[in-house]
């Protein structure tokens, strides 16, 4: 077989991709007909495809390449670690320096008494850990029946059996027998789509109090934990009303429910603080982390665990019967540690707070004046715009949800910009290192794409 390289014609690469590579979250037969866009390299905020196009990556991959593409200093750390110790496990009374150093660094950065790290290979795996961990915690406490986890509709926590069950995505639940037992869902704090005539603040309280109602319905002695993303990402970058998280915190405290913050997207600077929990003013018992932990340079995730949960499980007198071959993988851990050091050395959080966010906010929020845009929201460097045929009423399109969003996404891709759509909401999460000049390119391409979408749907009678 000939060696398959970047230099092959795009069509040949697409054909091989279609023949042998089954894509995640994809209708593969449809993609095979169209052909995948082949990405060949990345530098800073730009990707290059096999046709030589330079694409501005407004999503940082899947919300993960926070330091941007192509950092030699991280590659060198990975190469060095592969030579020194490419792999060893941490199951059987052994440990290694990358796992130790990274855990110590994460404990230093995490707020409060979140001092303990259980590693995973991804966000989904880490949330599977969390399900088993909180149930184990209450079991050790003598309350094995306190095992229900409350999550939210339209939340996203991964696509394993556990992660997909915690998530509240109807499309995921519809395939493969999810959710697993004893996971229940309450409404999301999505004011724009569901808030009706209420103010955002009123609506935030109403949605938070669904948690209290659910706890009362089930009995607090049956509820182990509540899990939520500080800012919903895959659900459409839903920034909750200011009243929401304080009320959730009050309810968790009142009823003795563990609070799990899924920081897979919001962790490590995305919202302008180290963690989204700090931005939202909450104090979780457990945080889920992945993505920005390594800026996507290596697959790694984990759970950051508070003293109380850790000590209870650690002192149970028995093993915690859970783990993955690649827990704390030395190369991934070394890469993640270097990533965190760079975030500090290069003052990336200051850049987000004082340069990139203010500049992007000014330009992004101005998109709300576009005839197709109902609202523009941005927190740190994650944002969304709602596409609508009727600004005043926050109305949905008559076409099937996602039709216009998909068309806009396609215009963006044609204009060498990656913006993703969730239904008819466009979402962004650019690398944290993005500069004002790059933001100008971003907004110019986004505006052109919105204009073309608007003209296209008008011409096709979708408005």
How far apart are alpha carbons 454 and 433 in whole angstroms? 31
- CB of 56 within 8 A of CB of 428? no
Q: Are 64 and 291 in contact (CB under 8 A)?
A: yes
Residues 18-37 that bind ligand PMP (CB under 6 A): none
- Tell me if residue 184 falls in helix, strand or coil: strand
State the Cα–Cα distance between residues 45 and 55, nearest whole angstrom: 8
CA 29/CA 94 separation, integer angstroms:
46
Assess 122 for contact with ligand PMP (CB under 6 A): yes
Minimum distance from residue 417 beta carbon to ligand PMP (Å)? 20
Q: How far apart are CA 415 and CA 53, in angstroms?
A: 10
Residue number of the CB closest to ligand PMP reads 123
* Number of alpha helices (DSSP H) and beta strands (DSSP E) in the chain: 18, 15
Q: Which stretch binds ligand PMP (CB under 6 A): 10-18, 123-131, 135-143, 390-398?
A: 123-131
Of 299 and 389, which has the nearer Cβ to ligand PMP? 299
Beta pairing class for 223-228 and 258-262:
parallel
- Residue closer to ligand PMP (CB basis): 152 or 157: 157
Chain centroid to Cα 373, Å, comes to 24
The interface mask with ligand PMP, positions 60-99, x = CB under 6 A, is --x-------------------------------------
By CB under 6 A, residue 210 contacts ligand PMP: no
How many residues does this entry show for the chain?
463
String of DSSP letters for 400-426: PTTHHHHHHHHHHHHTTEE-EEETTEE
| Closer by beta carbon to ligand PMP, 64 or else 148 | 64
* Residue 429 engages ligand PMP in binding (rule: CB under 6 A): no
Q: Which stretch binds ligand PMP (CB under 6 A): 154-162, 212-220, 362-370, 415-423?
A: 154-162
Asked if residue 123 binds ligand PMP (CB under 6 A), the reply is yes
Alpha-carbon distance values, 257 to 121, 236, 251 (Å):
27, 27, 8
Interacting residue with ligand PMP among 50, 66, 124, 449 (CB under 6 A): 124
Cβ of residue 439: shortest distance to ligand PMP, in angstroms? 23
Segment near ligand PMP (CB under 6 A); pick from 44-52, 178-186, 244-252, 257-265: 257-265
Binding site for ligand PMP (CB under 6 A): 62, 122-124, 127, 156-158, 163, 229, 233-234, 262, 264-265, 288, 290, 301
């Amino acid at each position: 077989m000939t060696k398959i390289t970047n230099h092959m014609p795009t069509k040949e690469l697409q054909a091989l991709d279609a023949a042998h590579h089954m894509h995640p979250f994809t209708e593969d037969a449809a993609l095979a007909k169209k052909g995948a866009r082949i990405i060949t390299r990345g530098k800073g905020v730009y990707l290059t495809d096999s046709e030589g196009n330079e694409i501005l990556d407004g999503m940082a991959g899947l919300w993960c390449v926070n330091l941007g593409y192509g950092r030699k200093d991280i590659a060198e750390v990975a190469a060095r670690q592969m030579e020194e110790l490419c792999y060893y496990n941490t199951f059987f009374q052994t440990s290694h320096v990358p796992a130790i150093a990274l855990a110590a660094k994460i404990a230093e950065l995490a707020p409060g008494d979140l001092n303990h790290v259980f590693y995973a290979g991804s966000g989904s795996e880490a949330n599977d850990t969390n399900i088993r961990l909180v149930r184990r915690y209450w079991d050790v406490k003598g309350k094995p029946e306190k095992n229900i986890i409350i999550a939210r509709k339209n939340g996203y926590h991964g696509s394993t059996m556990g992660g997909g069950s915690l998530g509240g995505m109807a499309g995921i639940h519809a395939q493969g027998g999810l959710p697993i037992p004893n996971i229940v869902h309450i409404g999301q704090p999505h004011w724009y789509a569901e808030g009706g005539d209420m103010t955002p603040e009123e609506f935030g309280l109403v949605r938070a109090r669904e948690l209290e109602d659910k706890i009362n319905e089930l009995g607090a002695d049956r509820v182990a934990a509540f899990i939520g993303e500080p800012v919903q990402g895959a659900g459409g970058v839903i920034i909750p009303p200011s009243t929401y998280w304080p009320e959730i915190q009050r309810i968790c405290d009142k009823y003795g429910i563990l609070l799990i913050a899924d920081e897979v997207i919001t962790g490590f600077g995305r919202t302008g603080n180290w963690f989204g929990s700090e931005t939202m003013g909450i104090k979780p018992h457990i945080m889920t982390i992945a993505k920005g932990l390594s800026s996507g340079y290596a697959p790694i995730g984990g759970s950051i665990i508070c003293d109380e949960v850790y000590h209870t499980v650690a002192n149970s007198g028995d093993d915690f019967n859970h783990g993955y071959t690649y827990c704390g993988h030395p190369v991934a851990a070394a890469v993640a540690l270097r990533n965190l050091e760079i975030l500090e050395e290069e003052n990336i959080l200051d850049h987000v707070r004082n340069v990139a966010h203010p500049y992007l906010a000014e330009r992004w929020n101005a998109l709300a004046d576009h005839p197709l845009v109902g609202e523009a929201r941005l927190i740190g460097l994650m944002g969304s715009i709602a596409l609508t045929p009727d600004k005043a009423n926050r109305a949905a399109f008559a076409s099937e949800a996602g039709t216009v969003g998909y068309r806009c996404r396609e215009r963006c891709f044609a204009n060498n910009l990656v913006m993703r759509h969730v239904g008819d909401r466009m979402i962004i999460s650019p690398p944290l290192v993005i500069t004002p000049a790059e933001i100008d390119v971003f907004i110019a391409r986004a505006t052109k794409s919105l204009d073309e979408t608007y003209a296209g749907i008008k011409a096709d009678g979708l408005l």
